[in-house]
Amino acid sequence: MSTKIVVAGGFGAGKTTLVGSVSEIPPVTTEAVMTEASVAHDDLSATPTKVTTTVAMDFGRITVDQQLIMYMFGTPGQARFWFMWDDLIRGAVGAVVVVDCRRLADSFDAVDYFETNRRIPYIVALNKFDGRLDFNAEQVREALEVSPDVPIVDFDARDRTSGGAVLKTLLRYALQSNAAAEPVG
């Protein structure tokens, strides 16, 4: 059996890094070199060494067990590529919204997207840059106006074990959410 999840979030939050760190196959990425044209659109102040950006999607795969294979689709973070999100989420059982706590405002649109598309359960994953977070989970929940039932976890996108824990949290939450949505009797 296979399942699809989406990894979303703002520009430079760690989506491509998460997909790459947990994928058992070399991830498929659509990274393009950032050009002078992006200077007016992309804030690099928190990520000055970033030289590429996702322009379509990332793709990875992980075998959860003998019965379940998970396909991961990472979304592009910039607003000019958001038109692709509706297609990327089609058929997904859940989503991870990756948040860079140094730039919470960059996460508003991704959280809002999943809050208004409640048919897809999502969790919020706070990516630790430099091994720390600028805000705790409850501060982020309040700032981003995340529903109280949505799990918020912290992790390091570069670490396979940490990223795997995020995906397990999403799968548990998606199963719980889908079971609650099933009609009884």
| Range with lowest mean pLDDT among 58-67, 151-160, 167-176 | 58-67
Residue 94, pLDDT score: 95
Nearest to 104 by CA among 83, 124, 84: 124
Residue 25 has pLDDT above 70, yes or no: yes
In percent, the amount of the chain with pLDDT more than 70 equals 78
Strand, helix or coil for residue 52: strand
In percent, the amount of the chain with pLDDT more than 90 equals 52
What number is the average pLDDT over the span 122-133?
91
Residue 86, pLDDT score: 85
| Range with lowest mean pLDDT among 8-17, 27-36, 128-137 | 27-36
DSSP 8-state secondary structure symbol assigned to residue 146: -
Q: How far apart are the C-alpha atoms of 15 and 2, rounded to whole Å? A: 21
Residue 81, pLDDT score: 67
Query: Which residue spans within the chain are E strands per DSSP?
Result: 2-9, 28-33, 52-65, 68-74, 94-100, 122-127, 152-155
Residue 177, pLDDT score: 87
Other beta carbons within 10 angstroms of residue 121's beta carbon come to 24
For residues 127 and 34, the model is more confident at: 127
Residue 185 has pLDDT above 70, yes or no: no
Q: How far apart are the C-alpha atoms of 143 and 105, rounded to whole Å? A: 9
Residue 123, pLDDT score: 97
The full set of domain ranges for the chain reads: 2-179
What number is the average pLDDT over the span 62-90?
83
For the chain, counts of helices (H) and of strands (E): 5, 7
Nearest to 20 by CA among 9, 4, 31: 31
What is the average pLDDT value for the chain, to the nearest integer? 84
CATH code of the domain occupying 2-179: 3.40.50.300
Residue 28 has pLDDT above 70, yes or no: yes
Q: Would you say 62 and 96 are in contact if contact means Cβ atoms under 8 Å apart?
A: no
What is the model's pTM? 0.84
User: 82: which residues sit within 8 A by CB, 6+ positions away?
Assistant: 76, 109, 113
78-112: per-residue pLDDT in tens?
666 677 788 888 999 999 999 999 889 989 999 99
Strand, helix or coil for residue 128: coil
* Residue 45's pLDDT band (cuts 50, 70, 90): low
